[in-house]
Structure 1
Amino acid sequence: MAKGKHYYIRKLHRYLGLILGVSFCSGPWGLYFSWNNIDEVHGDQLRKEKRFLPANLNLVSPQVALQELKKTATVDSIKAIQLIEILGVPTYQMSYFTKTEDVKKA
């Protein structure tokens, strides 16, 4: 009886799995990832910390920003207003609803 292609695929899969498994476990990356703390492996400590905005900022009222938004969009209701920093400039981020669409951000 002739051996089918499924037999050879199973054999190839078995040996490739064995070769790759051994290389991952015994190679330098396998040792690095298994012996180090997972939080250090993720690189979370390399992220830039969020800066706080100084208290002596001269800010406009959110009402002024909302009036500017109403000039360009039809605002039905406000979901949230948040003060964020974009390229060093304090900016209001507004999530709002329109009558025909879902939440928008401006």
Structure 2
Amino acid sequence: MRKNNQYFARKIHRFLGVFIGIQFLLWTISGLYFSWTDIDEIHGDHFHQEHMMHESPSNLINPSSLDSTLQISSLELRFVNHQPYYWVNENVLYHAQNGLKKEEITEKEAREIAQIYIKGNLQIKEAEYLTETGSHHEYRGRPLPAWAIHFEHPENLTAYIDAKSGNFERVRHRSWRWFDFLWMFHTMDYAGRDDFNNLLLRAFSLFGLATVFSGFTLFFMTRKKKKKRSLF
């Protein structure tokens, strides 16, 4: 029996439907989750409190006297556990009163910084020193080395402190991790989760269009066939 265009259109539509149906389902599930969650809560804003130092330190040394070989291109006065430091060239800390270079934030200091910025006076479970993170790590793409301060909390709360600058970088919790996991399926970036322009996503987008167009083709082909039958 001769196979007509409608037969091939059905085959293509059925094949594409099975091939990308699972991904369509993942897009829908992740999209529903994103639309039903508060992005500020996902970011952990309800755990994080802004902390402004209202101190006026005295006896600050002149930054030019820090190091004779130091070429200063940027300078910021900041406080690490109530101690004034110059953050020089976005790379190194110098004590603003005695000029001593601070190599890194200690674990004790990182714990204190985390407790300053996290609401609720939570108990710290453990501190973890990070020198590298994988492409799927929740702290990926952020400054390293860093301290991960894990709190006793139902949401498995973790605060990240930059070990070089003393900055409070991020807070992560269970809801954010679910969001990040579903975001990976939404972007189809199974290598690093954050690339929205990857080839796999582009390919499946084209397959999705092909599925829709094949469905339209079937609709009009079957409609024409019904009209022909009604004429006889």
TM value normalised by structure 2: 0.27
More helix by share: 1
TM value normalised by structure 1: 0.48
Greater relative CO (CA pairs within 8 A, separation 6+): 2
